[in-house]
Amino acid sequence: MDIGQKLKTIRKKHGLSQRELAARAGLTNGTISLIEQNRTSPSVASLKSLLDAIPISMAEFFSTLEEAEGPKVFYRRDEVTEIAPTSDGKGSLRQLGNAEHHALQVLHETYPPGADTGPEWLVHEGEEAGIVVRGSVEVTVDGQVSVLSVGDGYLFDSTLPHRFRNIGEEVCEVVSACTPPSF
């Protein structure tokens, strides 16, 4: 998915200049320009701030059409939507299905060593849960910090400020769910 072009198209559709979107999202217009040119990838938190400023949900931004003849049940690996591709040491978030059509959002998260969800705290409506399936990850929720390893999990109210960070030396993978969909 061309995140930069999609952001530019949606921004223009909503009649916003780069400068106006930047002001609403608390970013610089230079950052918006770099993202739209695909010269930098936004952190998950920055992209959420941008989309909230439009306003449009992450689920809507990354939606993929499901089969017109009925709900899609099975997905092959190439049908899972990359909503935050790995670049510049950042993590990857892959979404199962079109979150706009479901009450549950399922993600496959990958964090290379040193990667995190960005400097901004994530805060959104709902609840989220996940289980570490490879490596380890430091999870901070409302000031509580824990390092989780394979088989460990988390479940919390997403209105509490939170972030994820791989402080280990190997890639971390987490399978997570969020309700309602927020990314």
- From the CB of residue 181, how many other CB atoms can be counted at a distance below 10 Å? 26
pLDDT for residue 43 = 79
Torsion angle defined by CA atoms of residues 36, 42, 44 and 47, in that order, rounded to the nearest 10 degrees: -40
Q: What is the spatial distance between Cα 94 and Cα 183, in angstroms, rounded to a whole number? A: 10
Q: Can you tell me the distance from the alpha carbon of 182 to that of 44, in angstroms, rounded to the nearest whole number?
A: 11
Per-residue pLDDT of the chain (183 residues; tens, 9 = 90+): 578 888 888 888 888 999 999 999 998 989 899 999 988 888 777 888 899 999 888 777 876 444 445 677 888 887 787 776 655 567 788 888 877 778 899 999 999 999 988 888 999 999 999 999 999 999 999 999 999 999 999 999 999 999 999 999 999 999 999 998 876
Can the peptide bond before residue 113 be classed as cis, meaning omega within 30 degrees of 0?
no
- pTM of the full predicted structure? 0.65
- For residue 64, what pLDDT is reported? 47
Q: What is the pLDDT of residue 68?
A: 45
pLDDT of residue 161: 96
